[in-house]
Structures are given as C-alpha cells and as structure tokens.
Amino acid sequence: MKKHLLAFAVAALAAGGAFAQAGDTLAKVKSSGVITMGVRDSSGALSYTLGDGKYAGFHYELCERIIANVEKAVGRKVEVKYQSVTSQNRIPLVQNGTVDIECGSTTNNAARQKDVSFAVTTYVEEVRIAVKANSGITNIAQLKDRNVATTTGTTSVQLLRKHERANGIDFKEVFGKDHADSFLLLESGRADAFVMDGQILAGNIAASKSPADYKIVGEVLSVEPIAIMIRKDDPAFKKLADDTLRDLMKSGEAAKLYDKWFVQPIPPKNTRVGLPASDATKAAWANPNDKPVEDYAKK
C-alpha cells in the first residue's frame, strides 16, 4: 500500500510540474527544447500553407522572430513544430498547452481575453464582404434572402447581423470549415457572398484561379485588432513576445515585413494581395498595445 501511495505521490508531483510548465512557456521550452507554433492553412497573407508541412505569412514570420529571442532567453537551439489550427480549435489548443504561440488571424476581444492572452496588436483588420464581380451585389441590403458564407468559429456573420444597415435583412448562413472552404462556397455558387477579414478575402481572391471574377464590396462591418495569441497568465513569455514586436515596430522592420507579404508578390504563385498598411495598422505600430476590439468600437 505504501508503495502505491508513493507512486501516486510521484505521479501527482510530475503531473503538477507538467501543469506548471504549461503555464510557463519559457521553462517548458527550455526543458523540452521544443516550441509548437499554431499556424493557419488559409488565413490570407498572415498565415497560410505552402504544402508539404511548410507555412508562410506575416504573422508566421513575426513568430519566427519571437522564437529566435526565445532561443536566446533559454540558451539553446529550439525545435519548432507546426500545428495547423482552425477558428474552432485554436483557443482550446493554446489553453491546454498543445500550441505555445498561435500565429494566425485571431481577433483580440474581451471575451477571448478571459481565456488567453494576446501580444501587442500587429495588424488592424476591416471585416468586409466578397462577392462574384458579376453578381450585382454592392452593399449589405442586397444580401437579403441570399446565402452568406463564413468560417465556423469566427464572429463575422454576427458582426453582419449587428450592423445598423443589416436591420431587417434576412439571409441564410452557410459555414466553411476553414477560410479556403468558405471561399470555395462562394467560388462554387453555393454562397452569394463571403463575409470575413478583408485581407483573408483579398488573399483567397489573389490565390484563386481567376482573381478578376471577384471583388470586395460594401460597408466596413467592423475594425478589429488582430494579434498573436499565447497562454494566459504567462508574463515572462508575453513580455518577450511584446518586446520583440515593439523592437520590430520601432525599427521599421515590421513595416518592411508587412510590405513583403501584403504588397509584394508572394509564394507559391507570386501573386499580390495588394493591401498597403492602413492608417489604423500604422497607428498600432506607432503606439503598441493589446487593447481588445471593444476599445476600437468606442472611437
């Protein structure tokens, strides 16, 4: 019996240590030599797959810069593992320790801040509507009785419903499992519009077979701070991430990286997203902060 109790106590201590490390990313990485980056397959130029387990994008590259400083902090070379995440599972995977740093296209809002933390805002997004160029749709009112696509786990359709100009407009929601799937709903005619972050719309259009067949129209539904997501209550890792990003913003390197991914031709097809940095994004770089979307709505 004593042996069983001793074994149980050792196991409990080990589990407790693992749990503690999950909340201390730097200690976890120093111990294991591994960090797991959450990446997206089709989040526009922020994070997308090149195939064969390779990823690219603005947030992907910013996270590489953060991880380079993690290596300095822990004093060892670190193996980077990639975990493809979706809008549905990204927050749980950060919470449970599967993903250490999520480098996708996540909006920082007050509800999510209860479960996770965000580094300082690196991109300020406008939620818009993509349609086929020959659809005749130019505004929210014309979505009445139409099929509107969005991605499961995102807030875009809720934003559309809450928009003052959507009052009395009835439409049917159709859901894609990821952004590429949602765009396919538009491309195949199963949806008349795709509501999502403007850069995700632009990125999917640029990567499509015939970009000229689509356009982004209508009112801006919401202005949202997009940020790199990390676990809650991990001040040392948050400080390292924030300091890395602040240095990149102050030096002008963040602006150069943005231009690389949003203005210049990008792989694999050498297409251009064609979205120069907005005034709101430049303001976020000039005054780094981790304010949620609700603070932007107050302006």
**pLDDT for 59 beyond 90:** yes
Establish how many alpha carbons lie within 13 A of residue 137's alpha carbon, considering only the half-sphere containing its beta carbon.
Answer: 28
Establish how many alpha carbons lie within 13 A of residue 112's alpha carbon, considering only the half-sphere containing its beta carbon.
Answer: 29
- Is the distance from CB of 130 to CB of 193 less than 8 angstroms? yes
CA-closest candidate to residue 103, choices 26, 38, 179, 180: 38
pLDDT classification of 8: cutoffs 50, 70, 90: very low
Q: Report the 10 Å Cβ neighbour count for 186.
A: 27
Q: What is the mean pLDDT of residues 5-18?
A: 39
pTM of the prediction?
0.80
Q: What is the mean pLDDT of residues 239-264?
A: 98
pLDDT classification of 153: cutoffs 50, 70, 90: confident
Partners of 54 in the β-ladder:
51
Q: Which residues of 148-177 are buried (b: 16+ CB within 10 A; e: fewer)?
A: bbbbeebbbbebbeebeebeebebeebebe
The percent of residues above 90 in pLDDT, for the chain, comes to 77
Least confident among 15-29, 37-51, 244-258? 15-29
pLDDT classification of 23: cutoffs 50, 70, 90: low
* CA gap 202, 70 in Å, rounded: 32
Whole-number average pLDDT of the chain: 90
Query: pLDDT tens digit string along 154-179?
Result: 878 778 888 867 788 899 999 999 99
Domains of the chain: 22-124+225-285 (3.40.190.10), 126-224 (3.40.190.10)
